[in-house]
Structure 1
C-alpha cells in the first residue's frame, strides 16, 4: 500500500488519526500488508514539513505522525514565514535529534520529495491527497 499525502492537508491528518491506526493493527502489524508514505506536498509549507519528516531517515515514520497529529499547531499564520516559524518551534521542543536548518536546506531530501510528487502524477495521475494505491489501484477518497 502506498499513501500519497501532503502534511498541510487536513484530510491526510484525519487519515493518520482515524484510519491509519486500524490499518496498522489489522494489516500492517499482522504482516498482511506493508505501507509506504510518499510525498505529495500541495504547498511550500507542506514541502518544508516533508523535509523535516524525512530528515532522520531511520526507516520510521515517527516525525511524520507527529507532524500530522500536531498539524493545527504549526499550520497557522498569514505567511510561509509564520508557518516555518511554527514548524521550527514545534520541532525544537521535541527530542528527534535533527537540525531544522540542516533538514530544510538538504538538497537530497528536496530531490526525493519532488521526485515522489512527479512520479505520483506521472504513474498514477494523482491530483489530490490523501490518495492510496493498493495493488496498483488508485483510491483517491479513502
Structure 2
C-alpha cells in the first residue's frame, strides 16, 4: 500500500476495511489497540528470524523466497514450477 505518509495509507486501508463491513470506529479501535500492535511486531520478528523475511510482499513457496511486487500470474508461475 503506497501513500505519502501513514495517514494516507491508513485512509486507504480504512476504505478497504469498510468494504468488509468494518466501520471507522472499529477500524480506529483496532489500530489503537496495543495488543494488536504487539502481535504484529512479534509476527514480523518471527518471520525475520525463521525465514529471513525483511520486506513485503514476500512469499515462500517450496522453501524458495520471492520478494517484490508480483501479480497473481507471477505467483501462479512460481507455484506451477513445483508441480
Same topology, TM > 0.5: yes
* 1:80 correspondence with 2:6: yes
Counterparts in 2 of 1:110 and 1:133: CA distance versus 1, 3 Å = farther
Q: Partner of 2:58 in structure 1?
A: 130
Q: Please report the RMSD computed on the Cα atoms of aligned residues, expressed in angstroms.
A: 2.6
> RCO greater where, 1 or 2, for CA within 8 Å and sep 6 or more?
1
Question: TM-score, normalization: structure 1?
Answer: 0.37
2:44 — aligned with what? 117
4+ residue runs over 4 A deviation: none
Asked which structure has the greater CA Rg, the reply is 2
Q: Relative to structure 1, is the Cα distance of residues 113 and 90 closer, same or farther in structure 2, using a 3 angstrom cutoff?
A: same
CA distance in 2, matches of 1:114, 1:86: 21
Give the CA deviation at 1:78. 2.3
Cα distance per residue 1:90-126 (max 9 Å; x no partner): 3234424780111101111111111111011112222
> Of the candidates 92, 109, 124, which is equivalent to residue 18 of structure 2?
92
How far apart are residue 81 of structure 1 and its match? 1.3
Q: How many residues are matched?
A: 65
